Amino acid sequence: MTDKFQNYNFAYLDEQTKRMIRRSLLKAIAIPGYQVPFASREMPMPYGWGTGGVQLTAACLTPGDKIKVIDQGADDTTNAVSIRKFFEKTAGIKTTFKTNQADIIQTRHRIPEEPLVDGQIIVFQVPIPEPLRFLEPRESETRKMHALSEYGLMHVKLYEDISIHGHISTSYAYPVKVEGRYVMDPSPIPKFDNPKLSKSAALQLFGAGREQRIYALPPYTSVTSLDFEDFPFSRLRAQGNCALCGATESYLDEIITNDKGTRSYICSDTDYCNSRTELGHLGNGLDEVES
Amino acid sequence: MSPILEVEGLEKKYGNQAGCLDINLVLYPGEVLGVVGESGSGKSTMLNCISGQLLPEKGTVKFNSPSKGLVDIWSISNADQRFLARKEWAFVHQNPRDGLRMDISAGGNIGERLMSIGNRHYGQIRKAAEEWMERIELNAERIDHRPTTFSGGMQQRLQIARSLVTNPPLIFMDEPTGGLDVSVQARLLDLIRQLVHDLGLATILVTHDLAVIRMLADRILVMQKGRIVESGLADQVLDDPQHPYSQLLVTSVLRV
Amino acid sequence: MIFEVKNLTKEFQIHNQMNVNIKVFSNLSFSVKAGECVGIKGPSGTGKSTLMRMLYGNYLASSGSIIICEKELVGAEPKDILELRRFKLGYVSQFLRVLPRVSTFRLVSESAIRAGVSSEEAEQKTAELLSLLRISENLWDLSPLTFSGGEQQRINIARGFIYQYPALLLDEPTASLDRENRETVVNFIETAKANNVAIIGIFHDETVSSRLCDWHLNTETFLMSSDKG
């Protein structure tokens, strides 16, 4: 045992807690899309900073694993860096930026562009696990609605969207139906990512620390986004290509490059973008200011 | 013709207080059954037990469901009962705010039951909502307006449309005209009468207003202290009441 | 026989005012055949209206039997009485009890439509009847609640005659009418008789009564008297 984690158990949580979380995970995997309550622990970061995701990752980690942590698709943003450091310090495991080399990927608000494979686990950070929460504030009612499969209200919300905006205006945290049974909030990923949830080869786990809920999608689960027959689900992607790597199919971030408001688009998934530029794909470059 | 509803030995108490006791009734398709009695007579308790909202302590409520055949609504699963309550019977509350979602548009309110039984075509749902609004004499152009922008009488009509959109064969009404202005009441009663007739709705209508009962009901039950004290043809019970309490009720009504 | 009454007895028990018991009549028996018209005569308060209402199912019988078009009314289920009223038994009463919003035209045509007549035919007949009864066309779309007594009476009559019920009860059908309209109504009744309708009526007017009725029921004794010999 090295000095690095002599004050911490492996991955910070004690073994009893990990066992409790794993039990909840097993239940969640057995009932895809169903929210399993769990005894969320106090973590050394405040609520709203990924405590749910961190607990799930901690419970799944084994010493030989490699983890990747992304926030809005990027490995190098503050939160991703902090969480990666947390696991380096408390578990001593290896980390990577490469999607295809990670055993566990913890993510906030995006799914990597590169398809995940058998054996990988992706852990989502979830703020509000209940998709019906904003329509029905009572937990007693929403539990009944899930138990009895009463999801009319969810469609009423989509109906209202169309009647006000002419289309379904929900653009992230777009509700989905799992295996034709439970309606689930896929966490605030852009609806662009929703199709990746369905029939993924990876195990997908969702953790909400403050709300104390876990849910899961075992590999190859069918997930459909809610919609109307005459207003089918459509992905939303900015019109443009990545200025750095030229990608035409990835989810793009819009960045403002100068004081005049000139915009460029770049891939939100930094690993995807870098892998492409390494292979020689190039975009048109960021728009420069004209003096 | 077989009955659409058969209630036997229904009982619900509140501690030692009788809610409703020893209730037996049979309702045929297309019949309008009025239930009268003063406050505390047990009529609302009885209505809530029969419509699946309050669990009775004794008795059976058999409903001839178009989809499930003859079922005792308290013996089937909660999920099945709630499905029937969404699709095969309707409940109109005295206060329309109890039967509407005030923060959803009129169209959304009317369309909700359709969506909850699986209708997934926005255009069709909207069209059905527009047709119902015309039927209840609301301007269909107000389909996207919230119920909070409607008057009490309009809200009540909206509640009726919302509950009838799935074409249930049975409707329960608890003082549907209570609290409305007299002219508004007249309009609503006429609408109810037409809908009941056009759609062949079996109806149980609870009210303390005898004039409403005379206008709408085929049969009447008179309730006192939780029990049915008299039952019969509507005009007969009102014109030739037999039970002392029925006689008291009928003679107490002030005439205009 | 269209109407068959056997051993009919009526007693009112008024519970709330010192438990008064009012005996109206007992063991009344009579029958009326198709095409016959029977008048009920007698001083007021002796049970004429009571008998009429019992024949319509509006008042309960204390005991005995009333068979109309081969259906027993006493002890019948409400839905069976309603069916009888819809298809077989018409009633022209003295009172008009209607919802405030329903138009005169609709009130009259409804009775026929509910008996199964097509709406085109019902509407055509309604127009004919209302014209014959001299109800001016500009009143047809209005609710009759604000009309005069005579006009309301004529609307009641229209409702009773729009459909040919095999059995008909008439409670003072000519009471508030002027001579012309009275004549019209008497013609209606004569036509109905010729069409084999069985009629029981209370006729205030002596001449009308003797013209229409084949025999009378006298309430003072509830004896049957045959006026026409």
Q: If you search the block for the tokens 């009025």, which residue do you land on?
A: B34
What are the chain B neighbours of C59 within 8 Å (beta carbons)? 236, 239-240
Contacts of B150 (CB under 8 A, 6+ apart): B106, B138, B142, B158
- Cβ contact (<8 Å) for C81 and B233? yes
- Cβ contact (<8 Å) for A231 and B126? no
Assess if residue B152 is contained within a domain.
yes
The DSSP letter of residue A74 is: B
Q: What is the mean pLDDT of residues B69-76?
A: 94
Q: What is the pLDDT of residue A211?
A: 96
Phi and psi at residue A46, in whole multiples of 5°? -70, 165
Each residue's pLDDT tens digit, C26-52: 888 999 999 999 999 888 877 888 999
Coil, strand or helix at C144: helix
**CA C197 – CA C191 distance, rounded (Å):** 9
Pair C177, C110: CB distance under 8 Å: no
What is the C-alpha end-to-end distance of chain C, expressed in Å?
21
Which chains does C contact via 3+ CB–CB distances below 8 A?
Answer: B
Pair A207, A125: CB distance under 8 Å: yes
Assess if residue C182 is contained within a domain.
no
Q: What is the mean pLDDT of residues C113-130?
A: 91
Q: What is the pLDDT of residue A6?
A: 63
Question: A165 is written with which tokens?
Answer: 């905006």
Question: How does residue C101 score in pLDDT terms, banded at 50, 70 and 90?
Answer: confident
Contacts of C30 (CB under 8 A, 6+ apart): C3, C5, C38, C217, C224
| Residue A83: CA count within 13 A, CB half-sphere | 31
Q: What is the pLDDT of residue A5?
A: 52
Q: Which domain holds residue C47?
A: 1-88+165-177+195-229
**CA C199 – CA C91 distance, rounded (Å):** 10
Residue A210 to chain B, least CA–CA distance (Å): 28
The DSSP letter of residue A106 is: E
Contacts of C76 (CB under 8 A, 6+ apart): C57, C84
Mean pLDDT score across all residues of chain C: 88
Reported ipTM: 0.87
Instruction: Tell me how many degrees the CA angle B32-B37-B40 measures, rounded to the nearest 5.
Output: 130
**CA C10 – CA B242 distance, rounded (Å):** 12
Counting beta carbons within 10 angstroms of the beta carbon of residue A44, is it exposed (0 to 12), middle (13 to 18) or buried (19 or more)?
exposed
Q: What is the pLDDT of residue A140?
A: 92
Short-list C126, C128, C95, CA closest to C111: C126
What's the one-letter identity of residue B157? R
Count up the domains in chain B and report the number.
1
Each residue's pLDDT tens digit, B212-241: 888 889 999 999 999 999 999 999 999 999
What's the one-letter identity of residue A111? I
A159 closest CB neighbour out of B78, B79, B125: B125
Contacts of C53 (CB under 8 A, 6+ apart): B239, B240, C59
Contacts of B214 (CB under 8 A, 6+ apart): B234, B235, B238, C97
Short-list A283, A272, A219, A286, CA closest to A113: A272
Q: Which domain holds residue B120?
A: 99-167
Chains B and A touch (3+ CB pairs under 8 A): yes
- In this structure, how many other beta carbons lie within 10 angstroms of the beta carbon of residue C122? 21
Helix, strand, coil: what percent of chain A each, to 5?
Answer: 30, 20, 50
B215 closest CB neighbour out of C13, C60, C99: C99
Q: Of the residues A207, A267, A280, A285, which is catalytic?
A: A267
**CA C35 – CA C147 distance, rounded (Å):** 33
Pair A73, A269: CB distance under 8 Å: yes
Strands (E), chain B: 5-14, 17-27, 32-36, 58-65, 69-72, 89-92, 170-174, 202-207, 219-224, 227-233
Asked if C101 is an interface residue toward chain B (Cβ–Cβ < 8 A), one would say yes
**CA A286 – CA B118 distance, rounded (Å):** 48
Residues of chain A with pLDDT under 70: 1-6, 287-291
Phi and psi at residue C171, in whole multiples of 5°? -105, 100
Assess if residue B140 is contained within a domain.
yes
Mean pLDDT score across all residues of chain A: 92
Pair A271, A76: CB distance under 8 Å: no
- A33 catalytic per annotation: yes
- A245 catalytic per annotation: yes
**CA C152 – CA C171 distance, rounded (Å):** 14
Assess if residue B141 is contained within a domain.
yes
Q: What is the pLDDT of residue A149?
A: 87
Residue C225 reports pLDDT greater than 70 = no
Q: Of the residues A33, A50, A53, A73, which is catalytic?
A: A33
Assess if residue B124 is contained within a domain.
yes
Assess if residue C69 is contained within a domain.
yes
Assess if residue B121 is contained within a domain.
yes
The CATH code of the domain that includes C199 is 3.40.50.300
**B46, containing H or E segment:** helix B43-50
Strands (E), chain A: 36-37, 66-71, 94-95, 104-108, 121-125, 176-178, 182-184, 203-208, 213-217, 223-225, 252-256, 263-267
Q: If you search the block for the tokens 């049969």, which residue do you land on?
A: B219
Assess if residue C137 is contained within a domain.
no
Count up the domains in chain C and report the number.
1
**C191, containing H or E segment:** helix C179-194
- A119 catalytic per annotation: no
Q: What is the pLDDT of residue B255?
A: 63
Each residue's pLDDT tens digit, A126-154: 999 999 998 888 999 999 999 988 898 89
User: Nearest-CA residue of chain A relative to B77?
Assistant: A148
Each residue's pLDDT tens digit, B236-247: 999 999 999 999
pTM for the full predicted model: 0.83
Assess if residue C15 is contained within a domain.
yes
Assess if residue C73 is contained within a domain.
yes
CA torsion, ordered A255, A261, A263, A269, to nearest 10 deg: 0
The rounded Cα A49 to chain-centroid distance in angstroms is 13
- Cβ contact (<8 Å) for C78 and B214? no
Each residue's pLDDT tens digit, C169-223: 999 988 888 889 899 999 999 999 999 999 999 998 888 888 999 998 888 776 5
Pair B245, B224: CB distance under 8 Å: yes
What are the chain C neighbours of B251 within 8 Å (beta carbons)? 16
- Chain A interface with B: residues with Cβ < 8 Å: 147-153, 155-156, 159-160, 162-164, 227-231
Assess if residue C93 is contained within a domain.
no
Assess if residue B227 is contained within a domain.
no
Beta bridge partner(s), residue B173: B92, B205
Q: Parallel, antiparallel, or unpaired: how do β-strands A213-217 and A36-37 relate?
A: antiparallel
Pair A58, A153: CB distance under 8 Å: no
Assess if residue C151 is contained within a domain.
no
Residue A39 to chain B, least CA–CA distance (Å): 29
What's the one-letter identity of residue C151? E
Assess if residue B186 is contained within a domain.
no
- The string of DSSP codes covering A110-165 is ---SSPP-TT-EEEEE-S---TTTTT---HHHHHHHHHTT--HHHHHHHHHHHHHH
What is the C-alpha end-to-end distance of chain B, expressed in Å?
40
